[in-house]
A = this chain, B = another copy of it.
Amino acid sequence: MIHKIKSDPNKPLILITNDDSIYSKGIRSLVDAVKDLGQVVVVAPSLPQSGMGHAVTLKDPIRLTPIVRFDGVLASYACSGTPVDSVKIARDIILDRKPDICLSGINHGSNSSINIIYSGTMSAAVEAAIEEIPSIGFSLCDHDLDADFETAKQVVRKLTIQMLAHPLNKPSLLNVNIPKVKPENLKGYRICRQAVAKWEEEFEERIDPRGGNYYWLTGKFVSYDDGHDTDEWALANDFVSVVPIQFDLTNYHNINYIHNNWELN
């Protein structure tokens, strides 16, 4: 039986999750960076979930397993589901109140530009924001399992303090990417827009021992955007990219276009 945590109403309640799994170095770095700012509860996937986007688990039950791994946290659970499931079940089963902030990451690898759509790390942050929880997804531009998170930890701490003090207009949600540089070489912060970019897919074909074809998704990330106000520009120039995010996907411009050009009656 899992009992709801009993949080102190006088201290910020910080929910932490990710998509690289509760056993990654990135999530431990995130906990270390902020644990003295409030009460930390970790609910994160038990297995890596990169590229899971905003998937939820409908056809399988979800399990929660208490994990002893983090010092100085209120509770930590591995969730058998996706990053988005982790946020949902934390809110409904584990937390006794809405957290003051949700932090997701620190992802091993960039989630800039269009990658926000594929990223489990960012989808968890988006899910929290849908629940009206101020939320930040953090990603370090370094895929290494043993990446150096020192710069990232300083960035996480600074942005978390600002978000707690000055939540944004709803939704209060950021996509933060951190370049792979030493703290002394970080140029600063750029508040920017999502660059126009996409993956050019190349599936790699293989033949199994019985002669059947199968395919591995690979691909190359290509930016088509020369703007200096984008996350891609910031990262290429050793700045932290900070993109405020929303999830109203309506393209308002095209409402008029359809009214003026389509025949629907």
The answer for the CA separation of A117 and B242 in the assembled complex, in Å, is 22
Q: Is A189 an interface residue (CB 8 A)?
A: yes
User: So how many copies of this chain end up in the complex?
Assistant: 2
With A92-B201, A198-B130 already in contact, the answer to whether A56 and B217 are too (CB < 8 A) is: yes
Binding site of A, secondary structure by majority: helix, strand, loop or mixed?
A: mixed
- Where the two chains meet, the residues of A that have a C-beta atom closer than 8 Å to any C-beta of B are 1-2, 48, 50-59, 61-64, 81, 84-85, 88-89, 91-93, 114, 116-118, 123, 126, 130-131, 158-159, 162, 166, 168-169, 171, 173, 175, 188-189, 191-194, 196, 198, 201-203, 205-206, 212-217, 242-255, 257-259, 261-265
28 interchain pairs, CB-CB under 8 A: A48-B59, A51-B55, A51-B57, A53-B84, A55-B55, A61-B215, A61-B216, A62-B216, A62-B217, A84-B118, A89-B217, A93-B203, A114-B247, A117-B249, A166-B261, A168-B254, A168-B257, A169-B254, A171-B251, A173-B251, A189-B265, A193-B255, A194-B248, A244-B251, A244-B253, A244-B257, A245-B249, A249-B249
